[in-house]
């Protein structure tokens, strides 16, 4: 039996920005069939009964969801370890600040894609940076951990050293680096996606920055693939957790192995079945749960570490090739094989 | 003495500018001179940007400007009676001839321009640890740690 430890929630598909690289193609409008606050409350209740460790409200822009504050507060009352990620365009309202200080989230994520000019260009909004500055102040005044999330592509990865220097000055707690991939709006911008050479440069940069900025908890996300401990991230990575120990729920209540697996099939909808039943029985997780080396084609086919890694990040693999277990980028493959 | 003032005024004529001062509507004719002084740039920063300065700006500014006195160049606007009407630190503002106004630099640009990038050279062999070892078939209990895209990293050793 697989224990569900982390759930990423697509709180809403609505967003007040229109970023170049948005993997979910979120827009200004909300769709009619999005879950109501009542339905989300029920989801949270079920997750707490399943003893899920961590819930992250993602989006779209979660703070735009009517009742978001209620959900955050409710999740925390249920004892769930909770965090949320925002584009930080507008200063968090006083009522949200009040809820944040009551809920004590393990972290609040702010998406920062470069220094002011690059960030505003990628976010296609001239005020975007200004909002971030305000929210960093707000969160630091509240004593909440800030995790900066940077999605890397050709427009911004060169800025990593300057951005690191800036984040060090600002004293953020964590910095999560992730790679853009051809899903959502990025499908129309494949020329901006990094190649193997870029990936190696990024990894070398991350290795160095982690050594030189020990006060920032710099972590490369799953999409960088298997890597030795304390190289591009702190911990040992045991392969894609989608359907093994983590899953996502989209804004309409569809359960997905990972929120980044936007183009693969959804599992089932929480409106039709209890979440625990979907988690235990849905065949939508089989690609990862019933993994055998035989399934594997492409880039990971001959890797000695395939059994434990299962071909790296499945959302990367799926978005690039339309099949699982063959991540286009892998630290181990790039540097040791 | 009167003669000296006359000479100074004569010299000042070259520095005459037409300017609409911040917060005012009407143009004034003033003299713009440059003065160098040992002062605290951080203090000027806070005074210049007033309520635009967030805690984050303040934190960065303190680090990039320091809190000690350094040499600063000021633009000073004085009137016919040699009275100082307005002054600005040229790191943060300047007189714009075309606009006939004092134009302030964007608060974020001022700070970002000051960011120094450490030139970090590290041999790959120094940076790269020994490669990952084969651990055999994944043990279902050994799930390691992960960092899902659009989830969040947490600083575990943070003392709060
Ligand atoms: S090459 Fe593929 S299977 Fe091997 S470690 Fe990298 S991602 Fe995993
Ligand atoms: S698909 Fe990628 S980002 Fe999603 S859980 Fe798997 S490894 Fe992590």
Report DSSP letters for B52-84, one per residue.
G--HHHHHHHHHHH-SSEEEEEEEEEE-TTS-E
pTM over 0.95: no
Task: Spell out which residues of chain A touch residue B159, defining contact as CB-CB under 8 Å.
Answer: none
B80-87: average pLDDT = 92
Q: Do B158 and A173 touch (CB under 8 A)?
A: yes
pLDDT at B160: 47
Q: Are B108 and A129 in contact (CB under 8 A)?
A: yes
B116-142: average pLDDT = 71
What percent of chain A has pLDDT above 90?
78
More confident site: B122 or A182: A182
B130-145: average pLDDT = 66
A220-244: average pLDDT = 91
Residue B36 phi/psi, 5° resolution?
Answer: -105, 135
Can you tell me which atom of ligand 2 is nearest the CA of A312? 7
Which residue bears the tokens 């084609």?
A297
Of all protein residues, the one whose alpha carbon is nearest to atom 4 of ligand 1 is A303
Query: What is the overall mean pLDDT for chain A?
Result: 92
Q: Which ligand minimizes its atom distance to the CA of B150?
A: 2
Q: Are A37 and A277 in contact (CB under 8 A)?
A: no
Query: Could you say which residues from 105 to 124 on chain B have a Cβ atom under 8 Å away from some Cβ of chain A?
Result: 108-109, 112, 115-118, 120, 122, 124
Residue B150, chain A, CB below 8 Å: the answer is: yes
Residue A258 Cβ < 6 Å to ligand 2: yes
Min Cα separation A209/chain B (Å): 8
Q: How confident is the model at residue B138 (pLDDT cuts 50, 70, 90)?
A: low
Strands (E) in chain A, as ranges, are 6-10, 54-58, 81-86, 107-111, 146-152, 174-179, 217-220, 246-249, 255-256
A79-103: average pLDDT = 95
Q: What is the value of ipTM here, to two decimals?
A: 0.86
Can you tell me which atom of ligand 1 is nearest the CA of A326? 2
Residue A333 Cβ < 6 Å to ligand 1: yes
Residue B134, chain A, CB below 8 Å: the answer is: yes
For A60, nearest residue in chain B (alpha carbons): B150
């Amino acid at each position: 039996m697989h224990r569900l430890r982390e759930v990423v929630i697509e709180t809403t598909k609505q967003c007040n920005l229109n970023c170049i690289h948005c993997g979910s193609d979120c827009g200004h409008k909300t769709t009619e069939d999005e879950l109501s606050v009542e339905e989300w409350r029920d989801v949270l209740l079920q997750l707490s009964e399943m003893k899920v460790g961590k819930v992250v409200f993602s989006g779209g822009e979660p703070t735009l969801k009517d009742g978001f504050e209620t959900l955050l507060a409710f999740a925390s009352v249920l004892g769930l370890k909770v965090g949320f990620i925002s584009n930080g365009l507008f200063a968090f309202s006083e009522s949200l600040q009040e809820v944040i200080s009551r809920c004590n989230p393990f972290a609040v994520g702010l998406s920062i894609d470069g220094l002011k000019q690059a960030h505003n260009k990628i976010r296609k909004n001239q005020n975007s940076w200004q909002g971030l500055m305000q929210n960093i102040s707000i969160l630091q005044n509240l004593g909440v951990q800030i995790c900066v999330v940077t999605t890397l592509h050709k427009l911004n990865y060169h800025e990593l050293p300057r951005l690191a220097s800036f984040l060090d000055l600002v004293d953020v707690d964590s910095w999560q680096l992730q790679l853009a991939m051809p899903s959502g709006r990025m499908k129309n911008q494949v020329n901006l996606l990094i190649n193997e050479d870029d990936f190696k440069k990024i990894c070398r940069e991350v290795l160095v920055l982690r050594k030189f900025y020990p006060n920032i908890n710099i972590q490369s996300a799953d999409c960088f693939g298997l890597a030795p401990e304390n190289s591009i991230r702190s911990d040992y990575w045991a392969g894609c957790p989608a359907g093994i120990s983590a899953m996502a729920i989209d804004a309409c209540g569809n359960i997905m192995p990972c929120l980044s697996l936007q183009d693969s099939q959804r599992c089932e909808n929480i409106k039709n079945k209890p979440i625990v039943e979907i988690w235990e029985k849905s065949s939508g997780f089989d690609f990862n749960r019933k993994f055998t080396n035989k399934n594997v084609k492409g880039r990971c086919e001959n890797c000695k570490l395939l059994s434990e890694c299962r071909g790296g990040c499945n959302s990367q693999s799926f978005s690039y090739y339309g099949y699982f277990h063959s991540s286009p980028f892998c630290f181990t493959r790039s540097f040791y094989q | 003495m009167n003669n000296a003032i006359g000479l100074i005024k004569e010299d000042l004529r070259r520095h005459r500018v037409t300017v609409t001062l911040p917060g005012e509507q009407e143009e004034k004719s003033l003299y713009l001179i440059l003065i160098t002084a040992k002062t605290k740039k951080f203090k000027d920063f806070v005074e210049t940007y007033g309520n635009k300065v967030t805690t984050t700006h303040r934190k960065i500014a303190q680090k990039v400007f320091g809190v000690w006195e350094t040499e600063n160049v000021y633009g000073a606007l004085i009137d016919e009676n040699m009275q100082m009407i307005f002054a600005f630190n040229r790191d943060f503002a300047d007189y714009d001839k075309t606009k006939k106004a004092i134009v302030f630099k964007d608060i974020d640009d001022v700070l970002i321009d000051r960011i120094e990038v450490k030139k970090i050279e590290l041999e790959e062999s120094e940076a790269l640890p020994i490669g990952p070892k084969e651990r055999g078939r994944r043990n279902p209990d050994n799930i390691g740690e992960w960092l899902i895209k659009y989830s969040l990293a947490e600083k575990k050793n943070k003392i709060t």
